[in-house]
Amino acid sequence: MDLEGKNVVVTGANGGIGKALVKGLLDRGAAKVYAAARTANAVEELARLDIDRVVAVRLDVTNAASVAAVSEYCKDVDVLINNAGVNRCMWFMGPTGMESAREEMDVNFFGTLAMCRAFTPMISSRSGAIVNVCSIIGLVNLPVNGTYCASKAAVHSLLQGVRAELAPQGVRVIGVYPGPVDTKMTAGQEMPKATPDQIATAILAGVENDVEDIFPDPMSQAVHAKLLQDPKQVEKEFATMIPA
């Protein structure tokens, strides 16, 4: 899919990957980018990058009325990028395991599902695409981030199901599985991290080259390769990474 001339919604546009996606879409000649975040103020700076092509939109993916209002406002969308997400860095038996799991499922899974449902009519009419940002640890659980992993595993299952449901309508559904990215979400965690620009570039290149599952960084590519060879061994390796 050529992104030039396309109208795109990016959720979570106030985060590192979201901002990089908005800038990358402008560079690729997108006609309009709806930069969506919980508060419009959070993306006003992005709107100033190109006042004719970037529209700051207030969106809470966990609020049905907010999702409905945005889908009504953005009726000319070709591509939806579901990038909004939350990670409470909690393990299942941790002190806030239940609360974290509920919040992450509400945003990461139910929020993504709500957006897919709301935007499918217009995207299908334009033979467009839905891009869901999952995570490489949605494919194998990292216990120290157990509740987040479970929510992203749900997103992985969601995108597979939605992909099948929407294929007859000509809608492409794309999964993105990044490893650690240098954003606020991973602040304080010592590990090799990709930059938001690297991830955004890989996502948009994948969309343009009709890649169905995008592994946008070296870490995610390496883990994916191991999962194809010996998923049980990867599970065992990740299982050693437990809370102190």
- Which residues are designated catalytic? 148
Of the CA atoms within 13 Å of residue 129, those in its CB half-sphere come to 23
Cα dihedral 180→183→187→191 (10° resolution)? 30
Quick count: other Cβ atoms within 10 Å of Cβ 68? 12
Are the beta carbons of 39 and 58 closer than 8 angstroms? yes
Can you state the percent helix, strand and coil of the chain, rounding each to 5? 50, 15, 35
* Amino acid symbol at 180: P
CA-CA distance, 187 to 67, in Å (whole number)? 29
Q: Which residues are CB-contacts of 241 (< 8 A; sequence separation ≥ 6)? A: 142, 143, 144
CA-CA distance, 192 to 209, in Å (whole number)? 27
Dihedral sign of CA atoms 227, 230, 231, 233 in order: negative
